A and B are shown apart, each in its own frame.
Chain A
Amino acid sequence: ERVMTQSPATLSVSPGERVTLSCRASHSVSTSLAWYQQKPGQAPRLLIYGASTRATGIPARFSGSGSGTDFTLTISSLQSEDFAVYYCQQYNTWPQITFGQGTRLEIK
């Protein structure tokens, strides 16, 4: 089983700042890694797949990188609407899928 570990659990940042979220896999998942954003009371939204490809309609300030076991999601300049919980998900062991436990991005 691929265990996905996200860090930190909570990140306090100010609007306009650049932020990097981390996701680490217990074993290599190649680039089979996705990122989701979830706002309170809403379903998750796909941001990134293939570790670095933005999903349709996702602003360019969101970028993903990494391969193997270490991945990052970077938001270049935080907007007020970006404060949310972010999850990574691996699908290297498709059809078996695992999510990370999430990182909460809160306003400083």
Chain B
Amino acid sequence: QLRLQESGPGLVKPSETLSLTCEVSGGSISTTIYYWGWIRQPPGKGLEWIGSIFYSGTTSYNPSLKSRATISADTSKTLISLKLTSLTAADTALYYCATMSVDSNTFDSWGQGTLLIVSS
């Protein structure tokens, strides 16, 4: 069974760059049956899609992030990574990694999330 585990620094300062990783176990990230996505949730608020990466390496991002996000995949380490630049307090959120089924284009498996706080 596929398992996703996010990890990150927990606390970063404004204007810095965030690096998060999602370790995938129980399956290959080179699979053609899943895409991979990052979604975030500010405390007490709703879900926001950040972006996705496809088995071809193609990526797609939420335009609201204004090109601050970069998603990549390291097949040798079974890691999906997210970089987010120019952080502000508005980026404080729980960050989730999730699989997106190619059949349904929905997020059918999620990690438990990693909390990021942006504060000086």
Contacts and interface: CB of A to CB of B under 8 A. Distances in A.
Contacts of A96: 60, 62-63
B105 A44 contact: no
Given A96-B60, A101-B46, A91 B111 contact: no
Contacts of A71: none
B105 A91 contact: yes
A32 interface: yes
A80 to B, nearest CB: 23
B110 A44 contact: yes
Interface in A88-103: 89, 91, 94-102
A32 B105 contact: yes
Interface in A4-45: 32, 34, 36, 43-45
A44 B106 CA distance: 12
Give the bracket for the number of chain B residues in contact with chain A.
20 to 34
A43 B96 contact: yes
Interface stretch (B7-15, B20-28, B47-55): B47-55
Given A43-B96, A44-B110, A87 B60 contact: no
B76 interface: no
B112 interface: yes
Contacts of A55: 106, 108
Given A34-B104, A49-B104, A89-B106, A100 B111 contact: no
Interface of B: 35, 37, 46-49, 52, 54, 60, 62-63, 96, 98, 104-108, 110-113
11 contacts: A36-B47, A43-B113, A44-B107, A45-B110, A49-B106, A53-B104, A89-B106, A94-B105, A95-B60, A99-B46, A102-B47
